Copies of this chain bind each other. A is one copy, B any other.
């Protein structure tokens, strides 16, 4: 038996899923290794054993959990030793709000700025599925959505205002030390980083500085991740 993390797999070995990034960091935070199992959009059969169709799926020696937040809760319960992912069980509900905010507010603010770049880094075997699925949701061609993206940057940066304010008071979203709240937003920001050379943050922004610190954590797990070549 072994610990296996089933992760979304793009073209050129790029691993861009924000949810899989959160789980990778949660595992590293707990000092846990995991074998990486790549899963394309078209390979739902690989994770059918989990009873659902989305990555990440963690198979920890036969103990199977899907959904990044559920995995983090499960890791915290089964590996309660420090460092905690939530500062104790009491931190879970408010971290869940942060998770929800990142998924439902930050993520959609990023998507139209990088969706065509993302498409270009999806495994070609998934292109037909991805285009059909996303264009049905957006009601436009993928390539058209990204046009004029520079104009969307100010709104996106304004969305991050509460994070910026918190980071003025404490070095990490989770407080004095990084924890799962940081992994959540970092995952959301690794998603564009791993598919696009379009920079979303201003180097003068303290969210940028925070991301720099996050990139270096756990032996540079984020820093050493494969990213697309600059144009």
Residues of A within 8 A of B (CB): 84, 86-98, 100-101, 104-105, 161-163, 165-166, 169-170, 172-175, 181
Contact = CB atoms under 8 A, between A and B. Distances in A.
Contacts of A101: 101, 162
A91 B163 CA distance: 16
Contacts of A166: 93, 96-97, 100
Contact of A91 (B91, B100, B105, B162): B91
A97 B98 contact: yes
Give me the 5 closest cross-chain CB pairs, A-B, nearest first: A87-B90, A88-B90, A93-B175, A94-B94, A90-B91
A94 B89 CA distance: 12
A181 B87 contact: no
A89 B88 contact: yes
B90 A162 contact: no
Contacts of A169: 96
Nearest to A94: B94
A167 to B, nearest CB: 10
Copy count, this protein chain: 2
Given A93-B166, A93-B172, A94-B174, 4 more contacts: A91-B91, A93-B181, A96-B169, A97-B162
Contacts of A181: 93-94, 97
Contact of A161 (B87, B105, B161): B105
A86 B90 contact: yes
Contacts of A173: 93-94, 97
A175 to B, nearest CB: 4
Nearest to A184: B94
A217 B165 CA distance: 31
Contacts of A162: 97, 100-101, 104-105
A91 B94 CA distance: 7
